[in-house]
Structure formats: structure tokens, C-alpha cells
Chain A
Amino acid sequence: MLIQILLILFFLLAIIKVIRRYQGGDLTRRAAFIWILFWVLAGVVVALPDSTFYLAHMLGVGRGADAIVYIALAGLFFLVFRLMVRVERLTKDITRFVRHEALAEAEKKITEQK
């Protein structure tokens, strides 16, 4: 089916991108490994939809498609959550930076006036 080919191409692109980001130093080795594993598994599921049956059976879910949806949802929740925590950390970093600048500026001005 066309959709399978398109999806697998997309996954391949994603894997290339992961490798590039790993080489560029944006991803740790562990993160890169997990992402590649993720996309490969996604490719397997798309290429061999029946493979999900075993997964569903293992998890005690009726249909393979259902199992994928459940796992995808949980994964998304986890990702979004991690993203939010990371944004929060980034925000705090910006604050530290802005504060540092502001204090330096103000103190410079004060010593100039003296």
C-alpha cells in the first residue's frame, strides 16, 4: 500500500535526521539509540502490521491497532511532559542570564556616577 511506503520513507528520513543530530552533538549516544530504535520499530509495525498482534497479546489488549494507540498515547504524554519540564528549565536559564545582565548594567552605571 502507498501509505506504508510513504510512512517508511518518512521514518528513514527521521533516522537520518537523528544521526545528523547525534553527529552534530545535539543528542547523546543514548538518546540517539533510543530514537533510532523507536523509528525502526515504527517501520516494522508499518511494514508488518500483524506484528502488533504479538504485542497486543503480550499486553493483554484485544487488537494490535489498539495496543499501538495506547502505547503511542503514553509515549506522547511522556514526551510532552518532558518537553514542558525542559522549557521550564530553559526559562529559568534565561532569567538567570537576564538578571546577570541587568545587575552588571546597573552596577556599572552606579560606579560611573560616583
Chain B
Amino acid sequence: MDTPKANADIFIVIPAYNEAERIGRVIRGLFEHGWKKIIVVDDGSSDATMMVAREAGALVIRHGSNRGQGASLQTGTELARNLGADVIIHFDGDGQFNASDIAGAVAKLKTEQLDVVLGSRFLDGRSRIPWLKRTILLPVARWINYALTGLKLSDVHNGFRVLSRRASTRICINQDRMAHNTEIPAQIKKYHLAWAEYPVEVIYFEPGQGVAGGLTILWDLFLGTFR
């Protein structure tokens, strides 16, 4: 599974903000797994993210100022599409994902003819999720997400996604920061895209977003309704 042959039109999009320390390893990991089209969206980083990513062999596109993870994913997705992508994968640049999960997720998209495959860290026992996240933050987020989008997901805050080209043209991320995690399921529902979850590993070495991050997301969604 680790040596996909016909993957010339499969693009990996990595949003990165000040990830110089980790992005190089992530990119090399992807190349080692046979993925060749890697787009890094350097979101106005103040460190050497762009140089490191370029040296590692990725195609780097740079935002002149920090616009947020959602904005970066939209930019990277559009570039991939302009370059002829048939499948687009969203992948974190901080080393929390496992590159060996991609092949299976892409295979699932293709064999089941899905539009979207969403990564979930709750479908197998590999991810050692911190206690607060597992018992409170993510269940609450899951519930809110279901109320807001009508899509029942086991993992609502997971940056691992596989999009068919068709899905990438329908889905348009307007939420520049983190609320795209709610916006994308909402659009999947709205456009009746065929979707499934797929077990992925998430490796923890730092807390990530906490309660404050969750509240910011809700606030962004609220403001988003006034556009």
C-alpha cells in the first residue's frame, strides 16, 4: 500500500504557520511514502518555513500575511486544482499525522466512489488522545457540530481530509481560521456529497487548541452568519 503507482494527479496540501522545525520531516515522510505532489501553504510565517519546505522538495505558495488555517487550505486547494489535481489531500504540517494513512484513505475514496473522506482518530485505538480532549472538548465539539451541520462525525476537528476534484470545486472554505472544521461538513451536507470517515492516527506531543480555541470557533461561526 505504501507505493502508489498512479499518483501523479494526487496532491497533498499542507497549511503551515511557523513550522520550520517540523515541516521538513513531514515532507520527507510523504515523499518516502510515494507522494510526489506536495503543496505547502506558508501562511506568512516569520520563521524559515518556506525555505525548509522548498529544500525538502515541496512546492511552496506563500501568503503575504497570516490568514489562518482555513484560508490556507482554500488557497492550497485552488492551486492544486489549477495544476490539474484529481484528488486533493489536506494534511497537517506539524507531524501529528501518519503518512501511511493516506494510501488507504485515497483507495477508499476511489473504490467507494466518494467525494470526501474525513480522517477520524476515534475509529481505531492508535491515537493516544489527551484526557481533557477525549472526555470533554471533542464530545462537546461533536455535539455542537452535529447541531450546526447535521452531519454525524466521530471526529469533528481533524485536519486529515481527502477530496475528489468534484468535491474541491463545490466546497469553498470561507472560514479563514479554525471554523472550517464545521463549515466543511455543512457544505458536504448542503451539496449532498458522498462522504465517509476513515481511521487515522493522530500523534500528540503538545496540547494544541483548548477551550479558548473552541470558543473562538463558535464566535467565528456566529459572525460568519452575517456575511
Count A-B contacts at CB 8 Å.
Answer: 52
Task: Tell me if A's interface is mostly helix, strand, loop or mixed.
Answer: helix
Q: Quick check: A99 and B82 within 8 Å, CB to CB? A: no
How far is A88 from B179 in the complex, measured between Cα atoms in Å? Answer: 14
Q: Which B residues touch A84, using CB under 8 A?
A: 223
Of the candidates A88, A92, A94, A103, the one whose C-beta lies within 8 Å of that of B61 is A103
Q: Which B residues touch A31, using CB under 8 A?
A: none
Give a binary string over B61-79; 1 marks a CB under 8 Å from any A CB, 0 the rest. Answer: 1111101100100110011
How far is A92 from B68 in the complex, measured between Cα atoms in Å? Answer: 11
Q: Which B residues touch A44, using CB under 8 A?
A: none
Contacts A102-B62, A102-B75, A105-B61; is A94 near B227 (CB within 8 Å)? no
A6 → chain B closest CB, angstroms: 37
Q: Quick check: B71 and A99 within 8 Å, CB to CB? A: yes
Q: Quick check: A92 and B174 within 8 Å, CB to CB? A: yes
B172 → chain A closest CB, angstroms: 11
Q: Which A residues touch B64, using CB under 8 A?
A: 98, 101-102
How far is A89 from B174 in the complex, measured between Cα atoms in Å? Answer: 11
B: number of interface residues (CB 8 Å): 23
Most buried by B among A103, A106, A110: A106
A99 → chain B closest CB, angstroms: 5
Q: Which B residues touch A88, using CB under 8 A?
A: 223-224, 226-227
Interface residues on A, range: 10 to 19
B83 at interface by CB-CB < 8 Å: yes
How far is A107 from B63 in the complex, measured between Cα atoms in Å? Answer: 14
Of the candidates A85, A91, A101, A103, the one whose C-beta lies within 8 Å of that of B82 is A103
25 CB-based A-B contacts, threshold 8 Å: A85-B223, A85-B226, A88-B223, A88-B224, A88-B226, A89-B227, A91-B176, A92-B174, A94-B65, A95-B176, A98-B63, A98-B71, A99-B63, A99-B71, A99-B74, A101-B64, A102-B64, A102-B75, A103-B78, A105-B62, A106-B59, A106-B62, A107-B79, A107-B82, A110-B59
B contact residues vs A (CB 8 Å cutoff):
41, 59-65, 67-68, 71, 74-75, 78-79, 82-83, 174, 176, 223-224, 226-227
14 more A-B contacts (CB under 8 A) besides A92-B176, A99-B74, A103-B78? A85-B223, A88-B224, A88-B226, A89-B227, A91-B176, A95-B71, A99-B63, A99-B71, A102-B64, A102-B75, A105-B61, A106-B61, A110-B59, A110-B83
A contact residues vs B (CB 8 Å cutoff):
84-85, 88-89, 91-92, 94-95, 98-99, 101-103, 105-107, 110
